[in-house]
Structure 1
Amino acid sequence: MSTRAPASADEFLTGLKGQRVLVTAGAGGIGFAIADTLSRLGARIVVCDVSDEALAAAPGKIGLVAAVKADVSRDEDVDRLFETVEKKLGGLDALINNAGIAGPTGGVDEIDPADWRRCIDICLTGQFLCARRAVPLIKAAGGGSIVSMSSAAGRHGYAFRTPYSAAKFGVIGFTQSLAKELGPHAIRVNAILPGIIEGPRIEGVISARAKQVGISHEEMTGRYLQNISLRRMTSPYDVAAMVAFLLSDAGINISGQSLGVDGNVETL
């Protein structure tokens, strides 16, 4: 039985100041919101991204220790990224496995195998490559946290988005396995399942899906919202708030979980 005193209101979101955090794909979208939120709460942040433009702009918008160009699906890029993490942060307390792509839209008989592999490589294998380098550093720190981005598509099958859905289902299995493996080392591992996130990526997905089934962009947007109980899209900062909670002292006993931040997506 725990002897820990009940949490008081002022304990929530404590423990973030000074945390050394790597956010992959952290120069835009959800990753930027996470890096911004954690930085405001006192964490020291390194981000990576593949966009030169986003990487150049990010340090001027939020406080970062370093911004590195890296493709998480490439071993050599990940090795170089972690050289920067060790040099600039001197260790690591938390990894936010955020990098991902939308992948191809189409029937299974229409998808190019190269597009399948690219989606799996970035959305799933990239998380493995980053975790294998992060874990020794987090162990050396005495424990910490890994938060990996899955998706509502990792809970529901997603017609015409099979590569993406398969990768995001894989993230949940990866998370649950790591939670068991790393729990004895005081490392908490959780997945977040964002729903339909406001921004250009989902607009592109909706357009492609609308074209696939022969309806307008507006009608397809309405169909997406009808599948969300709250009838609204999710903000990147909604996801960032959950990450902050999980990394804080308030999340000290949460591990192995797949947490939806999606307005309750009922189906896809």
Structure 2
Amino acid sequence: MNLDLTGKRAIISAGGAGIGRRTAELFTAAGARVVVCDLDADALETAKASIPGLEGSVCDVADAGAYQAFLEGAIDRLGGLDIMVNNAGTAGPTAPVEEVALEDWTACLTVNMTSAFLGTRTAVPALKKAGGGSIVNLSSAAGKFAFPMRSPYSAAKFGIVGFTRTCAMELGQYGIRVNCIQPGPVEGARIDRVIRAKAEAQGISENAMRDQMTSGTHLRSFVTASDIAHQILFLCSDAGCRITGQALSVDAGLEGLM
């Protein structure tokens, strides 16, 4: 397979750690120029120090003005754009729907869905100018299955699927492909926080909660950031040049969320 990205220009939101950082590593290794943003300044600096050629800025994607400025600046720095990865996300509250505060609902949708809209809206003119390109949005298994106690997150991730498919229909005529990834629970600090919160809400131990969650997969495991990043690389390379409008699951055979 041709997974070469030599000469490609890419932006990745939340690229300082986790899936975003691993994607930046694979993209740069494949020959792309990559600009990332992240809210965590320390993580961003660590990523820039360890990934040759990586550029990045501290930015909160929930601040629409700041994020817009970052996106426009990144496109200018790159001299155009070929790939946009809308990776930024947040877990949101863990609570029954009647106990979710409006501000928590809004904050969750802003980071998970509105940032993808802003990233896509800003990227499209540059992608059209380039003669086409690829947009990858991060949805979730929570955008495929019901997710009790996580209604804001699930709503946002279902929304990403509809947004992806609609954009694919709009932009295909310009050679722009739009897909989304639906990861199952990803090993790392975020899922550890989710497990802790869900265990507390259900009155069980964290180990019991983890076992409960992994038992719902065929492979009896969570996925890794590398699993997701490799799928993103595939989609953005020539190997994925006829794939668009898809919500692709990378979830170890997840049958449902609890």
Q: May I ask how many residue pairs the two structures share in their alignment? A: 257
Matched, 1:23 2:25: no
Q: Please point out which of 235, 253, 257 is paired with 1:264.
A: 253
Work out whether residues 72 and 122 of structure 2, in 8 Å CA contact, stay in contact via their aligned partners in 1.
Answer: no
Partner secondary structure for residue 245 of structure 2: coil
After superposition, the CA RMSD in angstroms is 0.9
2:2 paired residue among 8, 12, 15: 12
Cα distance, 1:63 vs structure 2: 2.3
CA shift at 1:109, angstroms? 1.2
CA contact (8 A) 1:23 1:98 kept: yes
1:240 partner letter = A
Partners of 2:20 and 2:113 in 1: CA distance: 16
Deviations, residues 57-114 of structure 1 (Å, cap 9, x unaligned): 1111112442111122322112221232133200000100000000000111111110
- The superposition leaves residues 20-52 of structure 1 with CA deviations (integer Å, 9 ceiling, x where unpaired) of 000000001110010011111111000001111
What does residue 178 of structure 1 align with?
Answer: 167
Contact 1:47 1:64 in 2 (8 A): no
Q: Could you tell me which of 128, 132, 135 is aligned with 1:146?
A: 135
Q: Distance in 2 between matches of 1:58 and 1:90?
A: 22
The one-letter amino acid of 2:14's match is: A
Question: Which residue number corresponds to residue 68 of structure 1?
Answer: 57
Matched, 1:251 2:237: no
Task: List gaps (5 residues or longer) in structure 2.
Answer: none
**From 96, 105, 112, the counterpart of 1:116:** 105
Q: Secondary structure at the match of 2:158?
A: helix
Distance 1:218 1:183 in 2: 45
Structure 1 residues 212-253: Cα deviation after superposition (integer angstroms, max 9, x where no partner): 011000000000001111101101011010011001111010
Output aligned runs, 1:1-268, within 5 Å: 11-14=1-4, 16-268=5-257
Alpha-carbon distance between aligned partners in 2 of 1:22 and 1:32, rounded to the nearest angstrom: 12
Contact 1:102–1:119 (Cα < 8 Å) also in 2: yes
Alignment TM-score, normalising by the size of structure 2? 0.97
Question: In structure 2, what is the equivalent of residue 7 of structure 1?
Answer: none
Q: Contact conserved, 1:73 with 1:129, CA < 8 A, in 2?
A: no
Q: Would you say the 8 A contact 1:46–1:64 is kept in 2?
A: no
Matched residues in 2 for 1:50 and 1:122: separation? Answer: 11
Structure 1: runs of 5 or more not aligned: 1-10
Question: How far apart, in 1, do the equivalents of 2:245 and 2:72 lie?
Answer: 28
Alignment TM-score, normalising by the size of structure 1? 0.94
Structure 2: distance between partners of 1:87 and 1:183: 24
Output the CA distance in 1 between the equivalents of 2:108 and 2:178: 23
1:104–1:115 Cα contact (<8 Å) kept: yes
| Counterpart AA for 1:26 | G
Query: Which position in structure 2 is the counterpart of 1:6?
Result: none
Q: Would you identify which runs of 4 or more consecutive aligned residues in structure 1 move more than 4 Å? A: none
